[in-house]
Amino acid sequence: MTPRQFGEMEGPKGAEASTETARLRTYQGWRQFVVQRHRASRLHYDLRFEVDGVLVSWAVPKGPTLDPDVRRLAIHVDDHALDYLDFEGVLPGNGYGAGDVIVWDIGRWEPYKSDDPAGELADGELHARVYGEKLRGKMVLMRTGIRQGKEWWLLLHKRDEFAECGWDAEKHRRSVLTGRTNEEVAKQGEVSD
Ligand code: MN
């Protein structure tokens, strides 16, 4: 994998908001998170947490997991606008970020170790309790270093009541918003909703 590729041309930042966003805002008062499965030049999952009005983001090549025995590489990428939360569609072009995107999981989250997620991010360790449709329970992101200009983090799931050994994101491939696969989104063309 070439980490330099991640984070470039990550798509429209806020330009593709859809009507679903309003529905999702019924979680008012809660921080939101999303995981988008993105078939770019290399498949990855974009993990995004709402912090201080933006979506702080990581590209996770193998996807997040409920398996407490695995550690996933997560490459920090550019923040995205909140309106990108429910983007599902095809990103046009030939660059790295081109490709189809589904909303693989979505929900709310809360920091469980402090009330200061921005401070946790600055310190390189984010503790998040997530309430998604696929992902549940306590997850931790830990910064491990910088390679080729990108922050490399590790993503893990705590050994809690939602942990499940052997759980693999690739066995749960459909959009939680529309039930579609990436392949189905790609066939329907460059229409986002
Ligand atoms: Mn992406």
Tens digit of pLDDT for each residue in 92-138? Answer: 888 878 999 999 999 999 999 999 999 999 999 999 999 999 999 99
Here the tokens at position 23 are 């529905």
| pLDDT on residue 27 | 52
Looking at the predicted structure, is the pLDDT value of residue 180 above 70?
A: yes
Compute, in angstroms, the gap from residue 46 CA to the centroid of ligand 1: 5
Compute, in angstroms, the gap from residue 117 CA to the centroid of ligand 1: 22
Tell me the pLDDT of the chain averaged across its residues.
Answer: 87
Looking at the predicted structure, is the pLDDT value of residue 16 above 50?
A: no
36 band by pLDDT with thresholds 50, 70 and 90: very high
Compute, in angstroms, the gap from residue 97 CA to the centroid of ligand 1: 6
Beta carbons within 8 Å of 68's beta carbon, 6+ residues apart: 156, 157, 158, 159, 160, 163, 165
Distance of CA 30 to the CA centre of its chain: 17
Q: Amino acid letter at 103? A: V
Compute, in angstroms, the gap from residue 59 CA to the centroid of ligand 1: 6
CB atoms within 10 A of CB 21: 15
Mean pLDDT of 139-168: 97
Compute, in angstroms, the gap from residue 9 CA to the centroid of ligand 1: 8
Measured distance between the N- and C-terminal CA atoms of the chain, rounded to whole angstroms = 32
Distances (CA, A) of 193 to 19, 35, 76, 178: 8, 17, 27, 10
Compute, in angstroms, the gap from residue 111 CA to the centroid of ligand 1: 24
Q: Of 68, 96, 79, whose CA–CA distance to 158 is shortest?
A: 68
Compute, in angstroms, the gap from residue 41 CA to the centroid of ligand 1: 10
Compute, in angstroms, the gap from residue 95 CA to the centroid of ligand 1: 11
Compute, in angstroms, the gap from residue 33 CA to the centroid of ligand 1: 15
Compute, in angstroms, the gap from residue 26 CA to the centroid of ligand 1: 26
